[in-house]
Amino acid sequence: MGSIKQIYNTYSTKQLDIIDLKKVPKHVAIIMDGNRRWAKKHCLPSIVGHTKGAEALTNLVKASLQLGIKTLTVFAFSTENWQRSESEIKNLMNLFDLYLKKQKDFMMEHKVKLDFIGDLSKCPKKTIESFHNVKKLTSKNEKLDLVIAINYGARDEMKRAMIKLIKDYDEKKINLENINEETIRNYLDTSKYKDPDLLIRTSDEKRISNFLLWQMSYTEIYITDTLWPDFNEKQFLNAIYDFQKRKRRHGGT
């Protein structure tokens, strides 16, 4: 692991001593909650909170690279978020576009592959193009998969999966007898990824908010009262440490 410590220097050797680098979760999912509350707390416009939240994400991508995490899935914009004001939605979409343009060189340098889940077709054309362009650019990177959930809702994901499955059944591409959990999994947005080992939710909300409902059947959940823009690398390491103290049973005794 020495080479990792040399290339990525988010953590010192002393900081890393609290965890077992051989037992780091391979897939971490994050509900990045609290941007607007952070902005309100500091008497700032909501977009400032979202911008600070984007900076926090960049820092955690760097931390994930050093820790050896393979997949980082983050909830950026839900199907319910369309209920927000038109100006806030416009600002968020512009922020997505700006974030991708600013980070694409970093992703290439550090071998981060961008992917997205959700129904991107409902987003503005500029946002769609930005996601597809950076996804194509980084498609051969292999250090870390950064999966951004945008216009994502787990119930909507399941609905879309069932529509595709029924269509394939009608076209006789699959048989009724062959439909099992693995079949359904293959129709989900996350079909290419293993289920999350750990979910982190910030801002002390104790719910999963329609995020990866199928995939998180046996995921360990870590909740912190820290608002997302204030969630830093040290707190991320503490979440990993807490995860490693647990005994995962996957429904067993």
What is the separation of C-alpha 8 from the centre of its chain, rounded to a whole number of angstroms? 20
- Active-site hit among 17, 59, 81, 119: 81
Question: What is the Cα–Cα distance from 81 to 59, expressed in whole angstroms?
Answer: 24
What is the separation of C-alpha 39 from the centre of its chain, rounded to a whole number of angstroms? 22
Rounded (5°) CA angle 57-221-26: 60
Question: What is the Cα–Cα distance from 16 to 65, expressed in whole angstroms?
Answer: 13
Report in angstroms the alpha-carbon separations of 202 from 79, 98, 122, 222, 245: 19, 24, 27, 9, 20
DSSP H helices in 110-229: 125-137, 154-170, 181-185
Is 81 one of the annotated active-site residues of the chain?
A: yes
- Active-site hit among 33, 115, 145, 189: 33
SS3 at position 2? helix
DSSP class of 45:
-
Is 35 one of the annotated active-site residues of the chain?
A: no
Instruction: Kindly list the catalytic residues.
Output: 33, 81
